[in-house]
A and B are shown apart, each in its own frame.
Chain A
Amino acid sequence: MLYDNRKKRFNKSVVYDSHYRSLWQCIHIDGTLLAFILLLCSAGLLILFSASNENLHSVEFQIMRLLLAFCVMLVFAQISPFALQRWAPWIYLFGLTLLFIVLISGHIGKGAQRWINIGFTRFQPAEIMKLAIPLILAWYYHKMDLPITLKSVLMAIPIILIPAVLTAKQPDLGTAILLTIAGVSVLFLAGLSWQILLTCFVSFMACIPFAWYLLHDYQRQRVLTFLNPERDPLGAGYHIIQSKIAIGSGGIFGKGWLNGTQSNLHFLPEHTTDFIFAVCGEEFGFVGTVILISLYMLIVFRGFYITMHAQDTFSRLLAGSITLTFFISFFINMGMVTGILPVVGIPLPLVSYGGSSMVTVMAGFGILMSIQTHRKLVTT
């Protein structure tokens, strides 16, 4: 009763738009987005079942994870954008601290360290940063006039690069790239001037030779192998050659569900995780890959719809960044599996087996839903 009374009082001060009010609205779920996500997840489970050699156990495990991720999504959908906006700096600082802890414990443990063990499970602090970076940048730019100025862009650089570099040092190049993309996408949506974009692009190109020395040996191998997979067909090039064979041999309609030889006979490495898209290509052919891409694109378009209908700058920047990062992550994955991008360890979101990235992606969708459903009558 007490709670109800407080809620009523709250409702008096913030008047919701009665036109959009529905059952979905009440529980802060965007039905359209939810439907698209469910479609994609079902397709993903179908592919995973085949990719894991009909191992029901791993499919069950994946369903458990998806359920957990859905719960996280539901939780995030309940948090109003206003609250997120308030917590943004604290979330960022929290994530950054964890990154440093990982780095230090990694030094002590004398080896690569990406995880933090919290008793019942482990998680990757870099995943928090995937949301924390857009949050703090959106929070930061929300307070000033857009388009952003050069000074505010310069402010953003350490905010993005410190966690990105820390992650790259773990070493986890894939996540570091996604962190950078997440940050840069906010800058882009906030009106980063084309001159700066162009300058950055040129200087990025100029930096490539220097970056070469910063890369780990295995990362260099990946780049070299990307440029010419046949130079090491049994070593580093093996992944990409087998992946292309899997996709290419699928043809238009594919070999049929569960009939892929490349994955079932283990020719295709990482066939349940990073290279699961190749399994889809082999078993469902061109038609199947185009359908899968379409499912992803439905989510992306819904994300942009939410972005453009968001009520304040913070929400728009946040929603846009989440959508763009989601796009980039599956695009990089598909690009590397089809051989048009170098192999960086980025899983196919919601389809690849396992991963804390699934929780982050779903949390992002939760934020999108929150933005879509926490609407005020008066825009600010």
Chain B
Amino acid sequence: MRTSIKNHYHEIQLTSRRSMVAILVICILIVLLISRLAYLQIYKNILYTTLSTRNAIDLVPIEPTRGLIYDRNGVLLAENIPVFSLDIIPLQVTNLQKTLIALKNVVELNDSDILQFKKQLKQHRRFDEIPLKLRLTDAEVARFTENQYQFPGVIIKARLMRHYPYGESFAHVLGYVGRINTTELNVIDQINYSASHYIGKLGIEKFYEDELHGNVGYEEVENDASGKPIRILKKTRGKPGKNLYLTIDSGLQLAAEKALIDHRGAIVAIQPQTGQVLAMVSEPAYDPNLFVLGISQQDYNALQQSEEKPLYDRALRGLYPLASTIKPYLALQGLNSGATTPDYTIFDNGTFKLPNSSRIWHDWVKLGHGRVNLPRAITVSCDVYFYQLSTKMGIKLMDDILTEFGYGSLTGIDLDNELPGVVASPAWKLKNKGTHWFPGDTTNSSIGQGDMQATPLQLASAISTLAMHGQRYVPFLLLGEQMPGKAYIVHQSTALSPIVLTDKKYWDIVINAMQDVVTSPQGTAYSLFGHGYTYTIAGKTGTAALSKRRLANEEDKQESMPLKLRDHHLFVAFAPVDNPKLAVAIITENSHNAIQTARAIFDYYLGNQPHVVRQPEKTIQ
């Protein structure tokens, strides 16, 4: 055999030796491997356990449910409705641009949706769900679900969206919520808002943002590598927002809105005995639901540039001359300071001249009111009487009483952006106009013209104080709040130091005169307010002239003037006189509708008129 020449013994020796060497090397390598494992698993175990936990466990914030807003009778004014939104998880989308274009064929997407989405894209992490379209119609949900397989990383999510069932009726009071913008992002508590997409932008929604928002909750979620939550390990519940009950009487609000009938203007109704604001209307208004979805630039521009100024809250920020509504307050001060007495009578021939001046001030009735004492001066709104009274009192005393009634400073209502108005004084004029105070300025101020300015809210607050014989309350909107499942907490009204007159009967003198404004055939509101009401009422009319130097008899020509130049009409009133339940201030811009509007409101609240019932618009587009 060929193999016989081989040295078998030697070969066995060789291969065995080499095998032993190999085994030795293998053992060394295995020891090396096991040392490595020991290093990783024993020595570095804590480090890698931490890393592994951080890999898999994520704290996911849970958005607290925003509190609901009710009116004083429990009518729901702001609710959260479930909607289907289209969300995108950028991490799971391969080509975002293509996906967006393809999605346009399935759901309706406008430019502002995409713009908003791209803004959000920068603010969120890649694996967050970012809403692209907030409210899908049923048809869109169906269409997308059919095509979902084409869109990995795009999901439909059910979420709660703020909805205002009454639309524009409560827009200025409630305000609205909108997506959190960059400015707000810097101010808010980042942690508490980590799950929130919305924040109150205006009105009650903004002022009570903290109460309505609640506190964020957390889920400890185990995620897989793609960031998809697999299971919830632990849930820390947050606190839902509180439900707010407003002092607003939605029936009254709707009645007031209806009474204005498409006139521009504002109405503020206050419960004099508490300071609760029962209605706050500013017309025209806007649909706050538009802002929740993210209003398109076009729509916003249309609202912004409208001559009607629907975004402008006239009740809170509209500055109007007090006009003749100033007269009862000046009358009170005249009596209080002794500058006049109830019986002091003048003869009004329709004109007034300051001493050492040639300028003639006219009464609004060309030939004057004849013999006029103080109550009659209020009832017929005699200008000359107050020209004279102001000359006796001087601007200081006039300003004092106006300030005591809350003019010239914020009422302190629980809304942001209130304006203080102006109580004109020599110091104010020097500071703001750079000129000195002339005696003629005092004369102008005595009939609420000139520089005196007030908001409808201030007018209402002042008339309410008058109704209460000087008892002052801060007007407020929050009646109470309730944490879901907890007790209802009543919000107390805040009393301010009352206005004290030297003689209490002065109140009755002025109030009786104001009653005559409505009830006496000579009263300025008599004809327009009409007959047949079942309550006692005291009021005062006012006309804010827009064309400065008008003739005394110009009022008759108002109908022929261009709409924008017609007078603003004011009416402040309260009823019933002995036990005031409702104090109202009304302004109608370029329209004399204020008094009729007041009639409708008082009739609704105090009379036996059928209540205005309006069904909330439940329709979802």
Binding site for B on A (CB under 8 A): 143, 145-147, 185, 188-191, 242, 244-252, 261-262, 265-267, 281-282, 285-286, 289-290, 293, 297, 300-301, 304, 307-308, 312-313, 316-317, 320, 324, 327, 331, 334-335, 338-340, 379-380
Contacts and interface: CB of A to CB of B under 8 A. Distances in A.
A73 to B, nearest CB: 23
B226 A266 contact: yes
A33 to B, nearest CB: 16
Contact of A265 (B10, B23, B33, B225): B225
Given A286-B37, A304-B23, A379-B8, A189 B18 contact: yes
Interface of B: 1-3, 5-8, 10-12, 14-16, 18-19, 22-23, 26, 29-30, 32-34, 36-38, 40-42, 44-45, 47-49, 51-53, 55-56, 222-226, 230
8 contacts: A146-B10, A189-B19, A247-B48, A248-B40, A248-B49, A252-B42, A267-B225, A320-B18
A147 B14 CA distance: 7
Contacts of A252: 41-42, 45
A331 B37 CA distance: 13
A189 B41 contact: no
Given A189-B19, A338-B40, A249 B224 contact: no
A307 B52 CA distance: 44
Interface of A is mostly: helix
Given A267-B56, A297-B26, A338-B33, 15 more contacts: A190-B14, A191-B18, A246-B52, A248-B44, A266-B226, A267-B55, A281-B40, A286-B42, A290-B37, A293-B33, A301-B23, A312-B3, A317-B15, A320-B15, A327-B26
Contacts of A185: 22
10 pairs of A and B residues whose beta carbons are closest in the complex: A248-B48, A249-B52, A265-B224, A266-B225, A286-B41, A248-B40, A261-B56, A249-B48, A267-B225, A251-B45
A289 B33 CA distance: 10
Given A261-B222, A265-B56, A248 B18 contact: no
A191 B11 CA distance: 9
Contacts of B30: 293, 297, 331
Contact of B37 (A289, A304, A316): A289
A379 B1 CA distance: 13
A250 B43 CA distance: 12
Contacts of A145: 5-7, 11
A378 B5 CA distance: 16
B56 A293 contact: no
B49 A249 contact: yes
Given A249-B49, A300-B26, A308-B16, A146 B11 contact: yes
A337 to B, nearest CB: 10
A335 B34 CA distance: 10
A301 B19 CA distance: 10
Most chain B CB atoms below 10 A, which of A248, A267, A293, A308? A248
A260 B222 CA distance: 12
B41 A285 contact: yes
A242 B14 CA distance: 44
A248 B14 contact: no
Nearest to B11: A146
B314 to A, nearest CB: 57
A247 B48 CA distance: 8
B386 to A, nearest CB: 81
Contacts of B6: 145, 313
B55 A245 contact: yes
A188 B19 CA distance: 9
Nearest to A191: B14
Contact of B41 (A190, A289, A317, A334): A289
A380 B33 contact: no
Nearest to A296: B30
A265 B15 contact: no
Contacts of B18: 188-191, 320
Nearest to A247: B40
Contacts of B10: 146
Contacts of A245: 48, 51-52, 55
Given A189-B15, A248-B40, A320-B22, A266 B224 contact: yes
Contacts of B23: 301, 304
Contacts of B26: 297, 300, 327
Contacts of A282: 52
Nearest to A146: B11
A167 B224 CA distance: 36
B600 to A, nearest CB: 66
B40 A265 contact: no
A267 B48 contact: no
Contact of B36 (A190, A297, A324, A340): A340
Given A188-B22, A251-B45, A304-B23, A286 B224 contact: no
Nearest to A324: B22
Contact of B15 (A293, A316, A331, A340): A316
A146 to B, nearest CB: 5
